[in-house]
Structure 1
């Protein structure tokens, strides 16, 4: 299967490296970036073809990763659908729910697969954590996802960039249980949320607290879960789980040689080959986008 990458920033480069490591699954035909200089750097670095136009790339591939700023997801997604090219769309799916729903409808009519990049669901640590929770009654979950600030984050909304991961992880843990109102507080800097704290509760009574920030002095990715029987602590950066029951703690280190992005893109290729529904559908992306937009809007309106 022939694949391409649209957008060659940091995450786009990760997709390039990953596809090149997946030769048994697909052939990376080339890349396109609307910044020719940026595209040329990646083309030269990995000895891959740099297409001079999006149209040229789309005529040459069966599937693409769209790894561009969110404001361009809808427009490029439509171009892919017009060319019957299957889409892996990095999160969030689009800027607005209406755009996302239109993209999903058009993709379905055209027979185009649309998978959304919820990468943490392919992280072995998160999968192991989900297994640990399968027979547990959850009382509360506490998520922290924080990073130091840099100039590249000037116009980036921390809710749609960082917290969005924990929103879809949270939903995967509570399954069909529905989250109710979100109570949001945060800090707006340069007209975008840079720090956000959210409190929510599900219909079944599960409490969740989520913190995302670009104001931290170090990178943090942790989840703490209190159940009726245990305290479970996850350190995503160090691939560690600590489970405490009756004052006895057990520590697990998750070893895996395959990176979550490779697991995710392999799953995308296989869903095309086997003509099955993507593991993370466009509708999954919409549900997460709705929550992120609601929180971001509340922060802008200073409602909590």
Structure 2
């Protein structure tokens, strides 16, 4: 398969590096970025052809990764469809649900595949966690995804950029659909930079999600409280801690409390991006179902939009209240 990368920023470079390492699966034809200085740097670093225009690249590839700011996903997606190119679009799929649905429909009409970059679903830790919850009754999820502030994030919504990962992860881990949600946060430069959301599922379980660009350190954790255990997972180091009650045994020196057993699981590192790209290439090559469909991207985007709207409306309401006092 002939592949290309549109966008050579931090994440775009990772796509270039991953495709280069997948030479048994594909041929990296070239890259494009309207930032010519950055594109030239990546072209030289990875010895890959730099194309002068998107259309020239699209004429000679089967697949592209679209790794540009979200506001350009729709426009570039339409170009890919025009030139019959399958696409992997980094999350979120587009700026809004209407644009996403139109892209998906137009791609289907031409027999093209759109996969969304929900990369955490290729993290082996998430798959292990999902397996561990099969016979557990979940009470609650407590999820934290935080990063230090970077000037490049000045106009970026933390819900769309960080929390979206945990939205689609919960879709995998939870056993029922969302029945309700609410959210609060802090808005800086007209976009949420710290967000806290509470989600209620139809089976009664709840989830508390926190995402922030205002943390002093990088954090990626998921805790799951079940009727029989507490499972704590650190996505950064692949560490899972499981605390379970040993049924039928009592600690008579500690007020007859149930004895607890702690198990530690170390998940070996695997390059999730390479897994994701390899899976997408195989799906296109063999015409098999996608692991992450465009519709999955729409669902995650819709939930994120609801959360962002809650935060903005609550901030607006607070300002109106304070102005009247």
Class of the TM-score when normalised by the shorter of the 2 chains: over 0.9
Which position in structure 1 is the counterpart of 2:322? Answer: none
Deviation at 1:192, TM superposition (A): 0.7
SS in structure 2 of the partner of residue 112 of structure 1: coil
SS in structure 2 of the partner of residue 285 of structure 1: helix
- 2:125 maps to 1:113: no
SS in structure 2 of the partner of residue 232 of structure 1: strand
Deviation at 1:218, TM superposition (A): 0.4
- 2:287 maps to 1:261: no
Deviation at 1:291, TM superposition (A): 0.2
Deviation at 1:226, TM superposition (A): 0.5
- 2:297 maps to 1:298: no
* Residues 209-239 of structure 1: CA deviation (Å, up to 9, x unaligned): 0000011100000000001111100000010
Which position in structure 2 is the counterpart of 1:75? Answer: 75
The within-5 A match list for 1:145-160 is 145-160=145-160
Deviation at 1:22, TM superposition (A): 0.2
Deviation at 1:38, TM superposition (A): 1.3
Deviation at 1:34, TM superposition (A): 1.1
Consecutive unaligned residues of structure 2, counting only runs of 5 or more, are 246-259, 318-325
The within-5 A match list for 1:37-56 is 37-56=37-56
Q: 2:45 and 2:314 mapped to 1: Cα distance?
A: 45
The within-5 A match list for 1:173-192 is 173-175=173-175, 177-192=176-191
Which position in structure 2 is the counterpart of 1:6? Answer: 6
Q: 1:57 and 1:254 mapped to 2: Cα distance?
A: 38
Q: 1:81 and 1:228 mapped to 2: Cα distance?
A: 48
Which position in structure 2 is the counterpart of 1:274? Answer: 286
Which position in structure 2 is the counterpart of 1:225? Answer: 224
- 2:246 maps to 1:252: no
Task: Say which one has the larger Rg.
Answer: 2
The total of aligned residue pairs comes to 302
Which position in structure 2 is the counterpart of 1:202? Answer: 201
Deviation at 1:20, TM superposition (A): 0.3
Which position in structure 2 is the counterpart of 1:15? Answer: 15
Which position in structure 2 is the counterpart of 1:130? Answer: 130
Which position in structure 1 is the counterpart of 2:215? Answer: 216
- Following TM superposition, where does structure 1 have runs of at least 4 consecutive aligned residues deviating by more than 3 angstroms? none
Q: 1:142 and 1:296 mapped to 2: Cα distance?
A: 19
- 2:38 maps to 1:25: no
Q: 2:161 and 2:190 mapped to 1: Cα distance?
A: 15
Consecutive unaligned residues of structure 1, counting only runs of 5 or more, are none
Deviation at 1:148, TM superposition (A): 0.6
Q: Output the TM-score relative to the length of structure 2.
A: 0.92
Q: Identify which range, 55-64 or 293-302, moves more after superposition.
A: 293-302
- Cα root mean square deviation, aligned: 1.0
* Residues 2-42 of structure 1: CA deviation (Å, up to 9, x unaligned): 00000000000000000000011001001000111111111
Deviation at 1:106, TM superposition (A): 0.3
* Residues 51-110 of structure 1: CA deviation (Å, up to 9, x unaligned): 000010000100000000000000000000111100000000000000000000000001
SS in structure 2 of the partner of residue 301 of structure 1: helix
SS in structure 1 of the partner of residue 4 of structure 2: strand
SS in structure 2 of the partner of residue 302 of structure 1: helix
